[in-house]
Amino acid sequence: MKISFWSHVRGVTGVTTNMACVSALMSIGGIGKTAVLENHYSTNSIGDMVLFPEKIEYLREHGEYYSRYGIEYILKRLYSGESGEKLLRHASIPLLFSSMYYLPQGRIVNKEVFNYEFHLVQKKLFQSLEKISDYIFIDTEANQNLSSKIILSESDLIVVNLSQDPGRIQEFLKQYTSIQEKAVYLIGSYQPESYWNIGRICKEFNIPRERTGIIPFNLELADAMSKGHLLQFLNRNYYKASDFENEYLIRYIKKAGRMIRKNLIRLRREEMAVREEFPGIPCTPFC
């Protein structure tokens, strides 16, 4: 199952944070193996959140972070005809006792070349990822470049990350109608005391509550991410949280994961019903 985490604005809604939390808790909870990747370069990458800085520096010093790992390296090897499943197991970084695989971002110096290479091998990439994981999470760049368009089109579900800014929400609903059919919504850095809480947002903008979740703002979470300790923080608080704030956070990350899985099932059932009624229609990602 391919799940895109995306927002139409950059640096506001916590796309990377939200995706890292949801995917990690699904692995920690034994729900399924996850693979996580991003199609863009960011100074606050998934790797910065889940890998100790010392490990990243070691890999970079020995030339392995970009030559042996990285999405660009994987795309080039797939294009050259290398076996996808074997390559991904070798070139991804296993986490959480191999229940989570991270494909680190490469240099992506030339975005045009990256987008072109992604276009050429995306089908093989996703097919290979589905062999090593149950859920594929893709941190998708806000810009509507070629690789982002492909990812959003091929995804089984799009998690649209929102802020509590009504203007931004209205902007998304007006400008991006084409992806709303297979979208669910996640409000990052959520502040429950805000006038625009989840109930008001769902009511005012006619967003189904069963397709909306929150990731509460949490200072300890932010501190853990800045040190590359996100997985340790989530693992430590999963079964017995250290305080109320962390219990509140973990509870709603779990709820967000359940919401995502329920809507994946809903979309699959809707797709199957359409296929039965109109057997001649082209196949979609759910087929």
CATH number of the domain enclosing 88: 3.40.50.300
Average pLDDT over residues 93-109: 84
Kindly state whether residue 285 falls inside one of the protein's structural domains: no
Percent over 70 (pLDDT), the chain: 90
Q: What is the mean pLDDT of the chain?
A: 90
Kindly state whether residue 284 falls inside one of the protein's structural domains: no
Residue 270: strand, helix, or coil: helix
Kindly state whether residue 159 falls inside one of the protein's structural domains: yes
The one-letter code for the residue type at 202 is C
Average pLDDT over residues 247-254: 98
Q: Which residue has the higher pLDDT, 50 or 62?
A: 50
DSSP 92-114: SEEETTTTEEEE-------HHHH
pLDDT digits (tens, 9 = 90+) for 264-279: 999 999 988 888 878 7
Kindly state whether residue 58 falls inside one of the protein's structural domains: yes
The model carries a pTM of: 0.91
DSSP 282: P
Q: According to DSSP H, which parts of the chain are helical?
A: 15-28, 46-50, 53-61, 64-67, 71-79, 84-91, 111-132, 146-154, 166-175, 198-204, 219-226, 230-238, 244-277
| Amino acid 277: pLDDT | 79
Distance CA 125, CA 74 (A): 8
| Amino acid 62: pLDDT | 47
Kindly state whether residue 130 falls inside one of the protein's structural domains: yes
The one-letter code for the residue type at 198 is I
Q: What order do you get walking across the sheet with 34-38 strand by strand?
A: 93-95, 100-103, 34-38, 135-139, 2-6, 157-162, 183-190, 212-216
| Amino acid 73: pLDDT | 86
| Amino acid 207: pLDDT | 98
Average pLDDT over residues 177-202: 97
Domain count, the chain: 1
54 confidence band (pLDDT: 50, 70, 90): low
Distance CA 30, CA 25 (A): 8
58 confidence band (pLDDT: 50, 70, 90): low
Q: Which of 282, 281, 287, 286 is nearest to 267 (CA)?
A: 286
Kindly state whether residue 230 falls inside one of the protein's structural domains: yes
Kindly state whether residue 282 falls inside one of the protein's structural domains: no
For residue 136, what are the domain limits?
2-277
pLDDT digits (tens, 9 = 90+) for 15-38: 999 999 999 999 999 999 999 999
Kindly state whether residue 107 falls inside one of the protein's structural domains: yes
Quick check: 224 pLDDT over 50? yes
